[in-house]
Amino acid sequence: MRLRGLHALLLLLLSALTLAASPTPVPNDALIKIYAPSSGSMVTNPLRVLASVSPGAGGNVSLRLTSETGRIVASRDWIFNTVGGKRITIDQNFPITVDGVAEAARMQIFTRDSEGRLIALSSEDLLLLSIGKTKLIEAGDLLEPFQLFHPIADETIRHGIVEVEMNVRVRQPSLLVIELVGPDRSVISGKQLPQVFQAAREFTPITATLQYQVNQKTRARLTLRLIDPQTKENLAVFSQVVNLYP
């Protein structure tokens, strides 16, 4: 009996040591990394954008700069010839006009898949100036704000339930929306978490359950969105495809 008890104790200790030695998951580089201008920057005409992006289907990348009044200050849609999904560098100037002396604006860079669904999005909040000089804030964390552990990409899921396990880390107050988006861009299932996540250095673990209904195999895009609590605009997006079955 003593030997049996000692053996059980050794197994428990070995298990604890294994867990302690398990590496903490390292966040990935963001699919869209904006080096300049980063949030808090004050910019004058022309606006210089420097970013590294993994393009979407067919090499697509889009940029929108929208003022606080909803005015489109700058807009561009690119098609880059890439091989094997390699990253591309964007280094371009955009002419901008400012209403008044200063105007707040949000810059979004995003990519889409062949069905037009968002793959990834990154954003920066800027202050546009009609006079003065550009003052850039150094880019901060260029890592993905999401760590998605489950489901994995292209996973087969059945019986109408998707269990989501993830970590999230935000740079500004944000709401988290989790959605399953169908090939026709309709939302098959979605959930907005009730809490507002505050800016933090550490990741917050999240578990959520989405219930869905499909009649046949459906290649849905599991989409994680951080949105502005006030405007409901996307602040950051990450997604991957999963295979839903009835």
| Residues 25, 29, 34: CA angle, nearest 5 degrees | 145
* pLDDT (tens digit per residue) in 32-81: 999 999 999 999 999 999 999 999 999 999 999 999 999 999 999 999 98
- 1 falls within a domain: no
Low pLDDT (below 50) residues in the chain: 1-24
Query: What radius of gyration, in Å, describes the C-alpha atoms of the chain?
Result: 22
Same domain, 100 and 157: no
Q: Say whether both 158 and 212 belong to one domain.
A: yes
Per-residue model confidence (pLDDT) at position 171: 93
Alpha-carbon distance of 231 to 227, in angstroms, equals 8
195 assigned to some structural domain: yes
Q: Are residues 123 and 39 in the same domain?
A: yes
pLDDT at 27: 62
Strand residues in the chain grouped as ranges (E): 32-36, 42-43, 47-53, 60-67, 72-79, 88-94, 102-112, 118-129, 146-150, 156-157, 161-168, 175-181, 187-192, 204-211, 218-227, 234-244
Q: Is residue 59 part of a domain?
A: yes
On whether residue 19 sits in a domain, the answer given is: no
The structure's pTM equals 0.88
| β-strand partners of 36 | 50
What pLDDT does residue 29 have? Answer: 80
Q: Is residue 232 part of a domain?
A: yes
> Do the beta carbons of residue 195 and residue 204 sit within 8 Å?
no
One domain, residues 70 and 156: no
Owning domain of residue 152? 146-244
> Is position 138 within any domain?
no
How many domains would you assign to the chain? 2
Q: Which of 82, 101, 129 is the last residue of a domain?
A: 129
Residues 159 and 202 in one domain: yes
Place of tokens 């970590």: 167
